[in-house]
Amino acid sequence: MPPDGWNGAIPSSRPGTVAEPSHGPDTTPPRGVSISSDPTDRPPSGGPSADGVPAAPDPGPGGVPSAADQPPVAAEPADGLPPAGADGAGVPLAGLHVEEAPAADRSGAQPAGDQGEPADGHHDEPDDHHAAGVSLVAKVRAVLRVRDFRKLWLSMSLSSFGDWLGLLAITATATSLVDGFAGQNYALGAVLLFRLLPAILLGPLAGAFADRFDRRKTMVVSDVLRFALFASIPIVDELVWLFVAQFLIEAISLFWIPAKEAAVPNMLRKDQLEPANQLSLVTTYGFTPVLAALVFAVLTTVGDRLGTTVPSLDESKLSLYLNALTFLVAAVVIWNLPSISGRRAAGTQVTGESFLHSLRAGFSFAGHTPLVRGLVVGITGAFVAAGVVIATGQAFASSVGGGEAAYGLLFGAVFIGLGLGISLGPSIARDLSRERLFGVAIVGAGVGVGLLAWTFTLWIALLLVVVMGFFAGIAYLAGFTLLGTEVDDALRGRTFALVQSLVRASLIVSLAVVPFGVGLLGRTSVDVGSVELAVTGERVMLFVAGLLAVAVGVLAYRQMDDGRPVPLVADVVTALRRDTTARRRLAGGGVFIAFEGGEGAGKSTQTRRLQEWLTEEGLVARTTREPGGTPLGAKIRAIVLDPASAGLSPRSEALLYAADRAQHVHDVLRPALDAGEVVITDRFVDSSLAYQGAGRTIPMDDVRSISRWATQGLQPDLTVLLDLPPEVGLARARGRAAADRLESESLEFHQRVRGTFRALAEAQPDRYLVLDARRSPDELAAAIRTRVSDLLQGLPLQQLPQHARVPRTRRHGDHVVQTGSTPQLHP
Ligand SMILES: Nc1ncnc2c1ncn2[C@@H]1O[C@H](COP(=O)(O)OP(=O)(O)OP(=O)(O)O)[C@@H](O)[C@H]1O
Ligand SMILES: Cc1cn([C@H]2C[C@H](O)[C@@H](COP(=O)(O)O)O2)c(=O)[nH]c1=O
């Protein structure tokens, strides 16, 4: 039976999914129109002159500012990007690979070792997996730096530890209070029953109550009552009171859990909720049960000795007192966290909806919303299967020849698997939609159980149990995260409560029914060739549980599938391989390439050259830009770049760029990608993160949120970052035209911009090509062509009709001669 922290599910922001075209297959006629960037349409001059750019520190090789020049880095945010207001140049760049500048450019540069890179100068790009792992640690550390959350998490962990310890102690107490094998088993069953029963009877009521109380008071009162009840069990020392106390403790916990769930999102930023969720679940299922088992073992030794001096004290009683104490400590901690109180304390009115009506609304919502229905079916079915695994565990363990020790190992293996699934699952399956992940993970767990049923070797069984736990952990996190993100706050308490009740009911039913099934089926053996196969009740039940999990996984998947035309297997395989291009291809789309970089880095030059080359190769390729890729965007561009718009507030500026982007995605990018074109944009979302986020010091998450909203999740397949020290780029840009409003910003502003571009590239090395923009235009164009030709290999992109193609012989006479290596495309 899971302890208090069991559904530590915290509403969380959904990890970014790979953009899927919003339209169906290509119906758009081929386009060959190029919207080229025109540097002459800048707003009229009027800003500060090009002079006065302060001398910049030596940027080091490849333009990387040396550590000594970097200003102090502010508190590290969850996403590893510079916090708002921090100088992006201070972000560690160890994993960034910048294609090197020509030798002449590097003279006098500092050794690579100064940048924290390997002394041999070899830039090892961290693989994506590693980057994801590091970023999870960073995210968790950032979450734990939030003082109130840290305190709540510590108190939750303490309660969870106490609860596991209490479970061990109560089961030991129950069996010690009765005599005989049958009596002891009945007592054990009754303890579990009394622990599970309240949720079935009171769960939905507790859910409806959840939003009507001051959360802090609810939690403190619950913890104090649980302290008193746990402490009373060893004092009263009666079996009947143990059952009553169990029932009351569970009933009280039902009020504590939703209060806690509602409190956490108020303490953290939205993007911090998923790592907080992972942390809570790993603590509850990975760490505290192991610690509780160890402490119980220690107390058993101490209790034996104590028992000789204080006869009424044994390890179970000691554990129960300790458990009681954890709740008292938690009560004190929570009492000192006023931020938990929530909206009641803030004076917000609760709707006048009747209690009964709100209960009915909760049920109706769960029954009529396909996604929630799928989640409820999946979670319930998975817990029925889990109940079967628990109920057959002892018999199965002895059948693989390990007895009690094997049971302990198998029990531990479940938690190892759960811990791995919860902590690693989201990063492994980062690109897969959570709806699909949920169904797939339940099926995976079911297959694990089905195979386990026919395993006769302990180590294979242990391996399969870890696999089963791994998938179950992923499903659990995905399911509860989806409940948190997809269910409106007003209904969330009731939905969670309903799921809680169903989970417990499933466990009860399977724990009650399975032993009968096992007994009824008995033990037989089947001859398979020369081998005699033992077909026992517990193995058959396990196999049935596996089949059931597979069935509910498929059912949940069908309920929750968003109807995308991408076949599941290909979706899973490409998501695991992080193959975003293949994912877009699966969805029948084109290829999206973004150019990013500071002022004067050469983006317009290179977007144009790339488009010309692709067109020569017979592909439909277009260039576009932000801001100003649409007629409406051109007006926005005029406003944002006009030095006369001096009073524009940072937020207005961010929204104007987002508005330009929304129109751009809607009018240009999506249709062109849906038509299978190669779309090359001069700037995209990264520019907003760099300029409005780091430059204007707007919180990165706010910029990311409005950008995601504006783009509906569209991401480039490749971003070419032309990296250049800002003083070089500004000089180039100012040599071309008078400085616009952004170019007129300070050098520090532009250094923050540069640092953020680099940090973004570092976070996803597979999706970026970082080039030293001090290289010649020809060298840059050649490096870009090489990378782009790799990206486009084998893709069924839209091609120019024969009559529109430029014969190779004429091309070089008419257009820019593409020098350097020019790979051949085979579209
Ligand atoms: N690799 C290069 N080396 C030197 N000069 C370059 C290089 N690439 C472009 N330039 C020159 O630098 C200036 C800016 O180039 P371009 O307009 O392509 O940059 P940009 O990144 O689009 O600038 P902005 O962001 O300010 O629009 C132009 O005068 C261009 O000729
Ligand atoms: C997309 C985008 C752009 N900017 C800034 C960056 C530049 O200073 C100008 C655009 O000028 P360019 O000549 O086209 O490079 O706008 C920004 O601040 N935020 C953005 O999202």
Give this complex's ipTM.
0.98
Q: How confident is the model at residue 243 (pLDDT cuts 50, 70, 90)?
A: confident
Is 270 annotated as a binding-site member?
no
205-219, 324-338, 444-458, 549-563: the lowest-pLDDT one: 205-219
The tally of domains found in the chain comes to 3
Is 599 annotated as a binding-site member?
yes
Q: Give the ligand 2 atom nearest the CA of 640.
A: 16
Q: pLDDT at position 409, please?
A: 84
Does residue 747 lie in a domain region?
yes
Q: What is the pLDDT of residues 688-708, one digit of tens each?
A: 999 999 999 999 989 999 998
Between the CA of 641 and the centroid of ligand 2 the distance, in Å, is 8
Computed over every residue of the chain, the mean pLDDT equals 75
Task: Return the CATH number at 232.
Answer: 1.20.1250.20
Mean pLDDT of 60-85: 32
Does residue 119 lie in a domain region?
no
Stronger pLDDT, 443 or 5, i.e. the higher one: 443
Stronger pLDDT, 365 or 72, i.e. the higher one: 365
End-to-end CA distance of the chain: 57
Residue nearest ligand 1's atom 8 by CA:
602
Q: pLDDT at position 824, please?
A: 52
Q: How confident is the model at residue 82 (pLDDT cuts 50, 70, 90)?
A: very low
| Residues 162 and 311 both lie in one domain | yes
Does residue 83 lie in a domain region?
no
User: What number of residues does the chain have?
Assistant: 827
Q: Cα separation of 614 and 180, whole Å?
A: 83
Q: pLDDT at position 588, please?
A: 63
Is 601 annotated as a binding-site member?
yes
Token couple for 359: 């209960």
Nearest to 454 by CA among 528, 555, 379, 380: 528
β-pairing, 591-597 with 678-682? parallel
Residue type, 292: A
Last residue of a domain, one of 542, 561, 578: 578
Nearest to 331 by CA among 226, 258, 253, 209: 226
Model confidence pTM above 0.80? no
| Residues 552 and 591 both lie in one domain | no
Mean pLDDT of 798-813: 64
| Residues 331 and 408 both lie in one domain | no
Q: Give the ligand 1 atom nearest the CA of 780.
A: 1
Q: pLDDT at position 353, please?
A: 64
Does residue 695 lie in a domain region?
yes
| Residues 616 and 717 both lie in one domain | yes
| Residues 245 and 220 both lie in one domain | yes
Stronger pLDDT, 129 or 397, i.e. the higher one: 397
The segment with the largest mean pLDDT, out of 156-170, 276-290, 651-665, is 651-665
| Residues 328 and 427 both lie in one domain | no
Last residue of a domain, one of 578, 606, 624: 578
Q: Cα separation of 507 and 389, whole Å?
A: 10
In this structure, are residues 422 and 278 in contact, taking their beta carbons and an 8 Å threshold?
yes
Last residue of a domain, one of 297, 322, 350: 350
Quickly list DSSP for 359-372. HHHHHHHHHH-HHH
Residues forming beta bridges with residue 528, ordered by sequence position? 531
Pocket test for ligand 2, best of 669, 687, 700, 732 (most atoms within 8 A of CB): 687
Quick one: DSSP state of residue 768? E
Between the CA of 809 and the centroid of ligand 1 the distance, in Å, is 29
- For residue 627 and ligand 2, the question of a CB distance below 6 A is answered with yes
Between the CA of 326 and the centroid of ligand 1 the distance, in Å, is 64
The segment with the largest mean pLDDT, out of 306-310, 431-435, 666-670, is 666-670
Q: What is the pLDDT of residues 251-299, one digit of tens each?
A: 888 888 877 776 776 677 666 777 888 888 888 877 888 888 888 888 7
Other Cβ atoms within 10 Å of 444 Cβ, number? 20
Residues forming beta bridges with residue 681, ordered by sequence position? 594, 624
Does residue 298 lie in a domain region?
yes
Nearest to 482 by CA among 554, 562, 577, 551: 562
Pocket test for ligand 2, best of 642, 649, 669, 742 (most atoms within 8 A of CB): 742
Is 532 annotated as a binding-site member?
no
pLDDT at 203 over 70: yes
| Residues 307 and 436 both lie in one domain | no
Mean pLDDT of 478-498: 75
> What is the extent of the structural domain holding 731?
26-78+580-804
- For residue 599 and ligand 1, the question of a CB distance below 6 A is answered with yes
545-549, 556-560, 705-709, 774-778: the lowest-pLDDT one: 556-560
- For residue 733 and ligand 1, the question of a CB distance below 6 A is answered with yes
Q: pLDDT at position 396, please?
A: 85
- For residue 602 and ligand 1, the question of a CB distance below 6 A is answered with yes
Token couple for 278: 């992972």
Residue with tokens 């070899």: 122
Mean pLDDT of 534-560: 89
In this structure, are residues 725 and 754 in contact, taking their beta carbons and an 8 Å threshold?
yes
Q: Cα separation of 501 and 254, whole Å?
A: 10
Is 139 annotated as a binding-site member?
no
Task: Return the CATH number at 686.
Answer: 3.40.50.300
Residue 725 main-chain phi, psi, to 5 deg: -60, 135
Helix (DSSP H) and strand (DSSP E) numbers for the chain: 28, 7
Q: Give the ligand 1 atom nearest the CA of 743.
A: 26
Between the CA of 626 and the centroid of ligand 2 the distance, in Å, is 7
The segment with the largest mean pLDDT, out of 192-206, 264-278, 758-772, is 758-772
Q: How confident is the model at residue 424 (pLDDT cuts 50, 70, 90)?
A: confident
Q: Give the ligand 2 atom nearest the CA of 684.
A: 1
| Residues 283 and 392 both lie in one domain | no
Q: Cα separation of 739 and 599, whole Å?
A: 10
Q: pLDDT at position 155, please?
A: 87
Percent helix, strand and coil across the chain, each to the nearest 5: 65, 5, 30
Stronger pLDDT, 518 or 774, i.e. the higher one: 774
Stronger pLDDT, 242 or 533, i.e. the higher one: 242
3-state DSSP assignment of residue 700: helix
| Residues 550 and 625 both lie in one domain | no
Does residue 12 lie in a domain region?
no
Q: pLDDT at position 130, please?
A: 33
Does residue 363 lie in a domain region?
no
| Residues 289 and 319 both lie in one domain | yes
| Residues 585 and 694 both lie in one domain | yes
| Residues 492 and 430 both lie in one domain | yes
pLDDT at 407 over 90: no
In this structure, are residues 159 and 222 in contact, taking their beta carbons and an 8 Å threshold?
no
Q: How confident is the model at residue 585 (pLDDT cuts 50, 70, 90)?
A: low
Residue nearest ligand 2's atom 3 by CA:
687
39-53, 568-582, 751-765: the lowest-pLDDT one: 39-53
- For residue 683 and ligand 2, the question of a CB distance below 6 A is answered with yes
Nearest to 723 by CA among 672, 774, 785: 774
- For residue 691 and ligand 2, the question of a CB distance below 6 A is answered with yes
Does residue 99 lie in a domain region?
no
Token couple for 559: 């309920």
- For residue 780 and ligand 1, the question of a CB distance below 6 A is answered with yes
